[in-house]
Amino acid sequence: MARVTLTQHLIEQQRAGRINADLRLLIEVVARAVKAISVTISKGALADVLGNAGSDNVQGEAQKKLDVLANEILLQANEWGGHLAAMASEEVEEVHQIPFDYPRGGYLLLFDPLDGSSNIDVNISVGTIFSVLKNPPGEGEPSEAAFLQPGRDQVAAGYALYGPSTMFVLTIGDGVHGFTLDREMGSFVYTHPFMTVPHETSEYAINASNYRHWEPPIKRYIDELVQGKDGPRGRDFNMRWVAAMVADVHRILTRGGVFMYPVDAKCRDKGGRLRLMYEASPMAMIIEQAGGAASTGRERILDVIPQKLHQRVPVVLGSAAEVERVEEYSRQG
């Protein structure tokens, strides 16, 4: 039986009326950029791509060489296609406009080019996250305001996981579908149809070193998990933490559980740790489409109205019952 590729899957979605040709081609361009990033990452020290780039990003964080390379690959791949009105990257402060000599399209692309880049130098999984919005009518050269749409308005979202194999996980609002890169063929093959977050879970992902900085509701929830079968939950839980959102969320998507990066004393003045538009919203769309839930701890992430391009928020996502429990504890204070 012939294997279905990403391109074939997208063509089927177009024929079914779920996407148009421009969105299909845009997703294919992103996938081609992901393949290029995957090749670059796989070479590691052989290509002299490890270590710091000697610069900081808009967040004030030291950039890795691969942060810069992945960002450039995504920008260059998507500039000329004619499907985009503009782009925004977690690594760059301003909106990236399409060069004047290229055609413009009707979509906006946002991306975190290399999530978890601190893992690169120790050869642990990293990823890419992306989100697609429609460019509002009447926008000429899109400003930051054009991007400030709630996550529920996304027309597509996805991520790439660069692990033992490279995966491309996508939603266009009709479930979540996973594709694995066949390096010999050079194409993504449809391997994980209609991915679903398991309802029952015994795993959670959180940076426990921040425990002393957490708010009481988060401490209460984690304390219950740590107590395991001797506590109120009556069963044991395992903690897993890769320190790359893509890797941690992919585990939640495939095995169930809850991923948490709550607001704490260290990041309260910033509103949270993770970026709403580059990380939280696209992952929230994916998790909800897979039957899970995604919250700031107090409200649905997809309902948050962005106030600025690099806004940060707390994130709690995964199996719906666990997310609802965290929300309940937050309401109780």
Q: How confident is the model at residue 320 (pLDDT cuts 50, 70, 90)?
A: very high
Binding residues for Mg(2+): 90, 112, 114-115, 279
Which residues in the chain are classed under CATH 3.30.540.10? 6-192
pLDDT score for 121: 82
Average pLDDT over residues 277-301: 98
For the segment 249-260, what is each residue's pLDDT rounded down to a tens digit?
999 999 999 999
Domain with CATH 3.40.190.80 in the chain: 203-332
Classify residue 89 by burial, with Cβ atoms within 10 Å: 0-12, 13-18, 19+. buried
In the CATH hierarchy, which fold is given to the domain comprising 203-332?
Answer: D-Maltodextrin-Binding Protein; domain 2 (3.40.190)
pLDDT of residue 55: 57
pLDDT higher than 80, residue 292: yes
Q: Fold for domain 6-192?
A: Fructose-1,6-Bisphosphatase; Chain A, domain 1 (3.30.540)
Question: How are the residues of the chain apportioned to helix, strand and coil, as percentages rounded to the nearest 5?
Answer: 40, 25, 35
Give the pLDDT confidence score for residue 118 in this predicted structure: 81
CA 26 to the chain's CA centroid: 17
Could you list the residues known to form a binding site for substrate, using ranges. Answer: 115-118, 207
19-28, 52-61, 143-152, 197-206: least confident range:
52-61
Q: Does this model's pTM top 0.75?
A: yes
Tell me if 248 sits within 8 A of 238, measured CB to CB.
no
Binding residues: 90, 112, 114-118, 207, 279
What's the pLDDT tens digit per position in 16-59? Answer: 999 999 999 999 999 999 999 999 988 877 767 666 655 555 55
What length is written for the chain? 333
